Amino acid sequence: MHRFVAVVVVPSVALLLAWGAAAQTGKGAEQIKLAGGTQGAVPFPHHRHQKALGDDCLACHAFFAQEPGSIVKSKAEGKLAPKQVMNTMCIQCHRDRKQAGQPSGPIGCAKCHIKE
């Protein structure tokens, strides 16, 4: 009896853990600190955006890969100009949504950039 329980339970726990880890990786980190140059770093609530935008990943990831550090990498490779993500993505969306009276995010410099 004991042996039967061990055989059945152990693999299913392992499976559950593996599934949990995969789901976590797939959606990326909950909170990300983005490099913001001379103005200071930009804390970014990643999962909150996924939820607010109904899991529309391409709203952002059409511009850069789903990899840690992909914005810095694309800027270094010249695929993104400095401040391009900030202006054409972050601020643009926040401004449009604010004007439409929808839930939105910050527009002022110091509301996004944190000087340390």
Cβ distance to ligand HEC smaller for residue 14 or 111: 111
DSSP state of 38: G
Is residue 44 part of the contact set for ligand HEC (CB under 6 A)? yes
Give 28-35's long-range contacts (Cβ < 8 A, gap of 24+).
Answer: 28/66, 28/68, 29/68, 34/71, 35/71, 35/72
Is residue 66 part of the contact set for ligand HEC (CB under 6 A)? yes
List of residues 6+ apart from 94 with CB closer than 8 A: 104, 105, 106, 107
Is residue 59 part of the contact set for ligand HEC (CB under 6 A)? yes
Residues that bind ligand HEC (CB under 6 A): 26-29, 32, 34, 36-39, 42, 44-46, 48-50, 52-53, 55-57, 59-61, 66-72, 75, 82-86, 89-91, 93-94, 97, 103-109, 111-113
